[in-house]
Amino acid sequence: MVKSQALVFIGISLISARLFGQESTGHSAIFRSPFHTSASGFGLTTNALDQDSELSSVGPSELSKVGLDPRFIARQKSFQGLSLYTDTQIESASYGFDLDKIPICDLEVKIHRTMDGLVTVMGEIPKVSQKTFAAADWADLEQVRKMVAETLLMSSMGADFKPIDSKKCLWSQTAELTPAWQVSLTAADGLNYEIITDGKEVFKFDPKHFHEVGSANVYQTNKLDGAATPIALPDMDASGYLSNKFFEVCMPSITGSITCASSPSNPVQPFAIESNWQYNYDPSTGKNKFIQASLFAHTNVHLAWLQAHGFSKFGTNKIHILAHAVFSRNDINNALYQPADGSALPMILVGDGDDNILTNLGTDADVVAHELGHHVIFNSVTQISGESLVIHEAIADYFTFARTGNSCLGESICPDTPYGRQVCVKPTQCLRSADNALAFGDANLPTEAHQRGQFISGMLWDLHAKDGIALDDVTTLVLKGVDLLVYNSGYKHLVVAMMLVDHTNFQDKYCPTILARAKVRGLGSQLSDITCGSIGASSVGITKVTSAIPSEAETAVATPSAPKSSKKTCGVLGGDTADGAAGLALILSLPVVAWILRRRN
C-alpha cells in the first residue's frame, strides 16, 4: 500500500493525529471549506466548481482532484438539489466508494455547493491501494454467524438473532483494506443492530435504533412534596418497559423467582409498559405501576446527580430494581443493595412497607438513593463489616442529604404508629438524620451500622451546615475521597482521603476544618498522628502520603470484622432473603424492626 497524506485542511486535528502516533488506516480524511484560513500554514483555495454544471456530474472529478485513487469508483448515494420552494439554498451530493465492484464498508464524502458557488467537501476517501481481492478472502457465512452470536452473547443480549441482510464489503479502518461482512440483524430483544466482521474480529457493532427520552409523573422526592410532577427518563429502551442502559425494573414472579422487564414472565403484578414512554399513573388507583415508575425515576435522578458531581464508575452492567420485594419472614419493611456476584447483576430490592412499621418505601426517593449510594462506595470498599460497613451506611446517607439539601432521610416513610415511632430516629419525620450530636466513643453511640453511621454522616453534613463549606465542595471531597479508599477502609482512611482531595482540588483550603470537625465527632485519638501539614506541603512525596494512610490493621475497629460470604445475604434482620439471592446485602432499615417483630410475634 502507498500511504497518501491525509487531506485535512483543519490543521490542529491533523497535527495531533500525526504527533501522537494515531494508528494507520486505509482511508484519508478530507475537509475543505471556505471558512478555512491559511494563517496556520494550511492554505486552501476554494473551488467554486463549474457553475453551469450539475453538482452530481462534476462531483467525481472533484474527488479525483483531492486524491481519490482511480481504482476506486465514486458511487453517488444521494443528491439534494437547490429549491426555492423549500428554501434549500445548498445543494449536496453524497458518495460512497467501490473497489472492483466491492463497496467500502464505512466511507462517505459529501460535496456541498451554495447558490453563490461556495464549495465544501467533507468526509473520508480510501487511500491508494494495489491490493486485489478474491471470493476466498471472505469468511464463510457460518463463521460469520458464530462470530455474530458470540458478540451478542458477550453483550448480555443472548445468542439468538434473525439476520436481515448480509453483504460483502471492504473495511478501511485497518492499515490495509480488509474483506468483511456487513450484517444487519434483529436481536433477541426485538431491536435491530449492524455488525461488521471478518469472521475473526468484530470491527463495528452499532444499534440501528434510537433510545427515547421518556417521562414519569411521580413525586419529586416524596408524597409530602404535594402533587406528582414529570421527571425525565433518559435513554429509554424501545420496548416501552421501564428499562434503560443503567437500570431495569424487575418484579417477583408467581413462581417465587425474579422476572425483569427485558424478559417478563409471570410477574405477581403487571409491569409498567408504555409505547410512548409516558408513565403517568394515579398513585391511588394505579399504585403498582406508580411505585415502579417512582423507583425507576428516582434512581435515575440520583445517578444523574452523582454523575454531575464526578461519579464515573457505574460499570457496564445494568442494576436491576426489584419492586414489591419480600424479604425473609415475609418482611416488606426493608430495602437493600446487593452487589454483582458472578453472573448475577447488581440489584436494588425495595419492599412496599406495611404502613405499620414503615410506609411509602417505593415512592420516597431517599430509599433508592441510599441503596444506589452503596453501589458507588462498593467500587472501593467491599468489606461489609466493622468500620467499613459504618462508613458505607454513612456515605450513602450523606449523598442523599446532599442531593436534597435536607438533613432528614425518609421523610415520608415513618408512620404515626407505635411501631413507626420506635423505628424512626425522629418519629413521624426521619428514618435517620444528619442533624445530630453523636460522636465516636460516646456511651450512647448506637452499635447498629445504620444508626452508628449517623455520627459520620453528621460530621459530613456539619462541614456544610456549621462550617459553611459549599455543599458541592463537600460532595467533591467525599465522592473523590471514596475512590481513594481500600476494600476495608474505616474512619481514619475516610478523613485522610478527604484531606488529600482537599489538597489536590482546593489547595488545602478546607484541611483544618475537616480535621477539626472530625475531632469534634470523637475521632481525635484515631487522628492523633494526622496534621494538615503532613499532606499540605506544596510538594508531597508518595512516602509521606502513604505514611499518612496506615493500613486498616493499624486503626481501631469499632466492631470485629467478619469474613465476607458470597452465600448469605446479611442485614439487620438476619438470615437469607426470601429468594435466597447470593451476594452481600446492605439493608436500609433498623435493628429495632427485628425487636419489634419478635415482640409482635
pLDDT tens per residue across span 144-171:
999 999 999 988 788 899 999 999 999 9
Between 53-57, 310-314, 514-518, the lowest mean confidence (pLDDT) is in: 53-57
Structural contact between residues 321 and 295, judged by C-beta atoms closer than 8 angstroms: yes
Closest by CA to 110, choosing from 68, 73, 69, 59, is 59
Q: Is 572 helix (H, G, I), strand (E, B) or coil?
A: coil
End-to-end CA distance of the chain: 82
Q: How far apart (Å, rounded) are the C-alpha atoms in residues 425 and 437?
A: 13
Structural contact between residues 63 and 41, judged by C-beta atoms closer than 8 angstroms: no
The per-residue pLDDT for range 64-78, each reduced to its tens digit, is 877 888 889 999 988
Closest by CA to 584, choosing from 567, 559, 561, is 567
Q: How far apart (Å, rounded) are the C-alpha atoms in residues 528 and 496?
A: 12
C-alpha cell at 514: 475537616
Residue 378 has a pLDDT of 94
Closest by CA to 46, choosing from 55, 37, 54, is 37
Domain boundaries, the chain: 7-126, 135-207
- Residue 1 confidence class, pLDDT cut points 50, 70, 90: very low
Please state, in angstroms and as integers, the Cα–Cα distance from residue 441 to each residue in 340, 380, 446, following that order: 35, 26, 10
pTM over 0.75: no
Which DSSP category does 522 fall into? I
Q: What CATH number labels 135-207?
A: 3.10.450
Q: How far apart (Å, rounded) are the C-alpha atoms in residues 580 and 257?
A: 9
Residue 538 has a pLDDT of 39
Q: How far apart (Å, rounded) are the C-alpha atoms in residues 85 and 87?
A: 6
The per-residue pLDDT for range 170-222, each reduced to its tens digit, is 998 887 899 999 999 988 877 788 999 999 999 999 877 655 789 999 999 99
**E strand or H helix that includes residue 215:** strand 212-218
- Residue 549 confidence class, pLDDT cut points 50, 70, 90: very low
Structural contact between residues 148 and 81, judged by C-beta atoms closer than 8 angstroms: no
The yes-or-no verdict on residue 476 having pLDDT over 90 is yes
